[in-house]
Structures are given as structure tokens and as C-alpha cells.
Structure 1
Amino acid sequence: MPNDRKNWNQRLPEFLIEAETLLAKSEECLTHLQLINDDRDAIDCMLSTLLKLANKADALALEAISEFSLHIHGLLSNAQSHVELHEQALGALKDCFTLMAWQLELVDHTTGQLSLDSSEQTSLIEAFAFQVGQSPGQTLPASRPLGLVPYSQKQA
């Protein structure tokens, strides 16, 4: 359902502030995980903030941000019970958060569009999936999956 343009324009600035707050909270959790890589509370906090961010972005039809958040959430959710989040996995996760912060700044305030291709998102999702021993395709949202090539193939 398309957003009512007037209502959408009023809600976008509020969303951006809240999204930045949620992302900052996720980054704080990440910093904590760099000290204690199996801290369940920090992982749960990060999962919660990623899901909130995805839902809020989805409510404004900001698909790129919503889907990216859901990919990260899915991989992190599956990883937490199978593997410790080692330094390389946390580094890949930090790269995802850095891109997401940059994307939030680039959302067009008039149209709500993010005029970027999804290749960098795809690459970062693949890298994080590789670091936690998962296939990135396992957690794709049903709406519009990113075209993924296994990270291990890129390394060859």
C-alpha cells in the first residue's frame, strides 16, 4: 500500500531519528560483543533493535533498509546458537552497520528512495554469512531477495 505522501513526509524525519538511535544501540551491543563474544544479552538486544528497525523501515516502504536489517537479523539469530561471534564475524557485522548508517543518511527526503544498487548490501551479507558458517540464502525475506553469490566463490 503506497504511503500517503503528506503523512509519509511527516513520519520520515521521526523515523530517521529513531533508526539512528536503534542503530547506535546495535553498535553499542556490538562493542560489548567485541569484549565478551558470547554475551546472550548483547546478542538479544541487537536482535531486538534490528527487528524494530526493519519493522519501522517497512512501515515507511523503505525496502532496502528493511530487507537489509532482516537479513542481518536472520543470520545473527541463526548464528547465536551455533557459533561464537569471533573477531572476523563481528568485523563483518560492523561493516553491515556502517553501510546501514550511510544508507539512512542517503534516503531521499522527498521520495523515500535509496538510489543505490544492492551489490554492497549483498556483498556484506555474504561476508557475514560466511563468517558465521551459514548460507546467506537461508534467511532471505520472501518479498524481494537480493541476488547472492556465495562469499567463498568470490574468494577464489
Structure 2
Amino acid sequence: MNDGNEWQLALPEFLHEAEKLLAKSEECLSHLHMIRNDSDAIDCMKISLIKLAEKADALALQAISEFSRHIQYLIANAENPLHLHDQALDALHDCLTLLAWQLELIDAKTGQLTLDETEQTTLIATVILQIPQKDFSTKPQQRMHHTS
């Protein structure tokens, strides 16, 4: 649980940084719609998602950090990350949109993020369908698939 005063000081800075990282990821996605094989755009998106996950970890925002890491992993583990088609890019865009929405749901006083993980799980499943993975046996441990 987050300490109230520290949390209230840290949250605005985190949200500002998170919005910048998500905007950077969105820029990369837009770029990939135009130039499919741009490895710099893919690397930039992966780095932005990892940074977001690390910053979320620092504030104990597990749902955001795990979701960011999972999206990054699916991009990194893609069989052919330089040939993502429109549906794959759209699925990634939906994930980024959900992340942005979740940032807005963080309680500024308590630092709690209460959410139903169903939408995260559904979006991850959609990304997996749209982006064939190299090897499913090496997926990161997922806490998203537990039922409450």
C-alpha cells in the first residue's frame, strides 16, 4: 500500500512521465503503419513500455507494470516483428489506449487502481492472435489469468 503523502507527491510526476511514454509508443505505432519494417520504431516502443513498467513498479502499480511488460514481451517475442499487419498494430493500439485509461483511474489519494482484469486479458489474447509468437513455452508468468 502506498504512503498517502509520498504517493500524492509522486503520482503527478509518474502520470506525466507515463503519458510521455505512451505518447512515444503511439508515435511508434503510427510510424509502423506507414513503414512496416522500421526496427527503430519497434525498439522505441519496447523501450517505452519497459520504462513505463519500471516506473509503475516504483509506485506499486502492479496491474499497469504487468500489462506494459506483457505487451512489450509479445512485441519482443514476435516471430516477425518487422512485418506487423494492420490488425496487429490496431490490437497494440487498443492495449495502449487501455493503459492510458487505467492511468486515469488511479486514485490520487490512495494510489489504488481497482480494475477488472478481463479487458487486459482479452486484449492480450487478441495481440497473441494477431502477432504470432516464436515460442509459447517461454511466456512470462502471468498473473492476469487468475480468477478473482
Structure 1 residues 57-79: Cα deviation after superposition (integer angstroms, max 9, x where no partner): 00000011100000000000111
Counterpart of 1:36 in structure 2: which amino acid?
I
- The TM-score normalised by the length of structure 1 is 0.85
Structure 1 residues 80-130: Cα deviation after superposition (integer angstroms, max 9, x where no partner): 646611111001000001111111111111111122110000000110011
Counterpart of 1:89 in structure 2: which amino acid?
A
Counterpart CA distance in 1 for 2:44 and 2:13 is: 22
Counterpart CA distance in 2 for 1:120 and 1:136 is: 21
Counterpart CA distance in 1 for 2:96 and 2:139 is: 18
Q: Tell me which residue corresponds to 2:74.
A: 75
How far residue 138 of structure 1 moved from its aligned partner, in angstroms, is 4.4
Report whether the alignment pairs 1:87 with 2:86.
yes
Q: How does 1:110-125 map to 2 (within 5 A)?
A: 110-125=109-124
Q: Tell me which residue corresponds to 1:43.
A: 42
Higher relative contact order (CA 8 A, sep 6+): 2
Unmatched runs of 5 consecutive residues or more in structure 1: 149-156
Q: Tell me which residue corresponds to 2:144.
A: 146
Contact kept in structure 2, 1:22 and 1:53, CA below 8 Å: yes
Counterpart CA distance in 2 for 1:121 and 1:95 is: 10
How far residue 5 of structure 1 moved from its aligned partner, in angstroms, is 3.1
Unmatched runs of 5 consecutive residues or more in structure 2: none
Counterpart CA distance in 1 for 2:12 and 2:81 is: 38
Matched residues, percent identical? Answer: 57
Structure 1 residues 7-47: Cα deviation after superposition (integer angstroms, max 9, x where no partner): 22211110001000100000000000000112100000001
- Structure 1 residues 46, 113: closer, same or farther in 2, change over 3 A? same
Counterpart CA distance in 2 for 1:136 and 1:5 is: 40
How many residues align? The count is 145
- Root mean square deviation of aligned Cα: 2.0
